[in-house]
Amino acid sequence: MLSACGAQSPPQASTPPSAEVKTENADSLPEPTADPQLIPLYRPAEVLGSLPRGRQDPFAPPPQALVAAQDDASDSGGDGVPELMGVSSVGGVAQAFVSYDSHSGPVAPGDVGDPDRLPWLPAGVSVAAVDVQRGRLLLERDGRPLSPLQL
């Protein structure tokens, strides 16, 4: 035999009292205003279509920098210009990381490019200074400063 607590008949469902519309609340609503003539929002395609197209590679140097680098390369005897990859200062020693002619490596002030010893610097180009704060590498050839390389 099974025993349980509760009534013999199932519970009755209760119904909420019917909602009555009160006329005093309907009278207190504000009067409708005239059409505010809002401007509809633009669709995403319209917004994107109106934007100018940027460079394909945002990290590539601007075209003016490439032209200037090629001009410097022709002024320096056609040896080319190394690419500055980064600068660092560890223990007070400033170094720059350059890439040139499929070689790359670190350079410090006083280093001179040599195909056998430092192939990542053009021959005869020396490091005048490494400006870590500004991210610049200052090079010179035969005592004449070359255009600084900037990160």
Residue ranges of the chain whose pLDDT lies below 70: 1-7, 11, 13-27, 54-79
Q: What pLDDT does residue 15 have?
A: 65
**What backbone torsions phi and psi does residue 83 show, to the nearest 5 degrees?**
-100, 130
Give which of 92, 76, 53 is closest to 149, Cα–Cα. Answer: 76
Q: What is the pTM of this model?
A: 0.47
Task: Report whether 135 contacts 85 (CB < 8 A).
Answer: no
Query: Which pLDDT score is estimated for 76?
Result: 47
Given a contact cutoff of 8 angstroms between Cβ atoms, the answer to whether 107 and 96 are in contact is yes
pLDDT at position 139 is 93
The CA distances from residue 116 to 112, 119, 136, 140, in Å, are: 11, 6, 25, 19
